[in-house]
Amino acid sequence: MRKLIVAFVFAVLPAFGLAAGGAGVPMDHMEPDHANKASLQRGVALFTNYCMGCHSMQYARYKRVANDLGIPEDLYEQNLIFTDAKIGELMKNSMKKDMAAGWFGAPPPDLTLEARLRGESWVYSYLRGFYKDDTRPTGVNNVVFPNVGMPHVLVSLQGLCGVKPNVGVPASVEPLSGNINNGELCPSYVSEGSMSEAEFDQAMYDLTNFLSYTADPVKLERERLGIFVLIFVAIFFVFAYLLNREYWKDVH
């Protein structure tokens, strides 16, 4: 029994390691859904338009992404490849790491495995966490990643928040007045963007969902196979049990 308990403790230990990732920064929870193809398609469009100029995705291939997300290859090639890359190539970009480090203070990292590294909730919160800060060279700072080198590239969509946004701050209702505190992400914008707060949250959900997919493109397939494996184990158990009973039948 003791051995069993020790084995169980070791089996659940890695889960605590995962939970520890990104501790200490404010975060809003994000639950990825790789079965939501429409969300992933909007995500890849956002990524290609707003992120790929700086960030590569060098462990993913255009063709694989197109197929997994249900986008016809010719449509993908026409609308989501801006270079002369072919559909079978890896999703690299041509930004030189050392030059980029000079421009931004740090090179934009490859984002294929970012959601694995930081977790989906971190990425979702980070993308919604920019605010105006004139002491920074880019004019913005981030509540999740203080003094980040990345500019607020989505300012035309979100607008620019004048104060620290309420990332990871739950909304609360004042008991006497009934006023809702922290109900919105940003209480005061310096400039407006083209999206409402709800639309921007949805767009960042889609973008994070796409980054979650690239970090683990076989998740759906794994879950589908997992069910068959469990069914197999359940059926196998019956035979193993009967065989075991047969073997031990005459031992007293």
Residues placed in the known binding site for heme c: 51, 54-55
Q: Cα-atom radius of gyration of the chain, to the nearest Å?
A: 24
Q: In whole angstroms, how close is the CB of 114 to ligand HEC at the nearest point? A: 5
* Binding site members: 51, 54-55
Q: Which tokens go with 21?
A: 């990732």
Q: Interacting stretch for ligand HEC, rule CB under 6 A, among 70-78, 146-154, 228-236, 239-247?
A: 146-154
207 lines the binding site for ligand HEC (CB under 6 A): yes
- Residues between 97 and 116 that touch ligand HEC (CB under 6 A): 104-106, 108-109, 111, 114
Q: How far is the CB of 136 from ligand HEC (least distance, A)?
A: 10
Among 34, 118, 132, 152, binds ligand HEC (CB under 6 A): 118
What angle is formed at CA 167 by the lines to CA 12 and CA 145, rounded to 5 degrees? 75
Compare residues 47 and 62 and give the one whose CB is closer to ligand HEC. 47
Give the sign of the dihedral formed by CA 113, CA 119, CA 124, CA 126: negative
Residues 3-62 that bind ligand HEC (CB under 6 A): 50-51, 53-55
18 Cα distance to chain centroid:
14
Can you list the positions of beta strands (E) in the chain? 57-61, 90-91, 130-132, 140-142, 159-161, 172-173, 180-181, 189-192
For ligand HEC, which is the closer residue by CB, 59 or 104? 104
Q: Tell me whether residue 138 or residue 187 sits nearer to ligand HEC (CB atom).
A: 138
| Residue 137 binds ligand HEC (CB under 6 A) | no
Q: Exposed e or buried b for every residue in 187-201, given b needs 16+ CB within 10 A?
A: eebeeebebebeebb
Distance from C-alpha of 186 to C-alpha of 183, rounded to nearest angstrom: 9
Q: Does 204 bind ligand HEC (CB under 6 A)?
A: no
**Nearest distance in Å: CB 47, ligand HEC:** 6
Three-state secondary structure call for residue 73: helix
Binding mask 228-247 for ligand HEC (x = CB under 6 A): --------------------
Of 216, 219, 214, the residue nearest 110 (C-alpha): 214
CA 136 – CA 126 distance, rounded (Å): 17
* 141 bridge partner residues: 131
Q: According to CB under 6 A, which residues from 152 to 181 bind ligand HEC? A: 153-154
> Residue 149, interface with ligand HEC (CB under 6 A)?
yes
Count of residues in contact with ligand HEC, rule CB under 6 A: 23
Residues that bind ligand HEC (CB under 6 A): 50-51, 53-55, 104-106, 108-109, 111, 114, 118, 123, 126-127, 148-151, 153-154, 207
